[in-house]
Structure 1
C-alpha cells in the first residue's frame, strides 16, 4: 500500500462472466433519461414562470397611461405625467418630477391610492 492508494482508490479488473453494471440509469438509453428529465423539471419550475412574469410586466407597461399611479423598483410612488418610448416621467410630489426607464416601474396602483396615503 502506497501513499497514493490513500488518495486515489485502486481500480481492479472485473471478473469474467459477470454482467456489466446497468440498472435504471446505468448505461445506454437509461443514461440519457436522467439529464432529459432534469432539463424538463428545470424548464417547468424555473424558466417557464420567469417568462410568464416577463410577459405580464411587458403587458402592464404597454397599458401604462398618463395619470396612472405607479410604484418603482426603488419603492418610489408617484403619478405618471409623460410617457416616451423607453422613458417615463413620474411626479413624486408637487412640482417634483423624476425621469426613469419604463422597466423601472414595478406596479400600477389602483386610482386614489396615493391620495389616501
Structure 2
C-alpha cells in the first residue's frame, strides 16, 4: 500500500513540469556575461591603455611611477628606464612600473 503513495508522488512531480536542461544553464550564462562586462572587459581595456602609454614614452617625458616618484626620463632600454628625480639624481626603474605621464595626474587634480 505504501508503494501506491510513492508512485503517485513521482507522477505528480513529473506532471508539474521540470525545467528543461537548457533552462538550467541560463543562470550560469548570465553570471558569466555579467563577469565579462563588469570585470574582464574593463581590465582588458586598462591593460591595453597602459601598454600603449608605455610604448609611446620618449626621453624628456615627465612621468610618475606606481610607487609615487615623479621624474624625467633621461634614458630608456626595452625593460628599464632611467629617471632623473632631482638635478643630478638618477634612478633606474622597471618600465612596467611607470604609472603614467605627469600631466595626466596633475590635470586630474586641478579638475577636482
* CA RMSD of superposed structures (Å): 1.9
Matched residues in 1 for 2:30 and 2:67: separation? 39
Moved over 2 A (4+): 19-23
2:65 is equivalent to residue 72 of structure 1:
yes
1:33 aligns with 26
Structure 2 gap ranges (5+): 1-5, 107-112
1:97 aligns with 90
- SS of the residue aligned with 2:91? strand
TM-score (norm 1): 0.75
Alignment coverage as a number of residue pairs: 97
Of Structure 1 and Structure 2, which has the larger fraction of its residues in helix? 2
Q: Deviations over 1:6-64 (max 9, x none)?
A: xxxxxxx68132134766xx551111111111111101100000000000000001110
TM-score (norm 2): 0.78
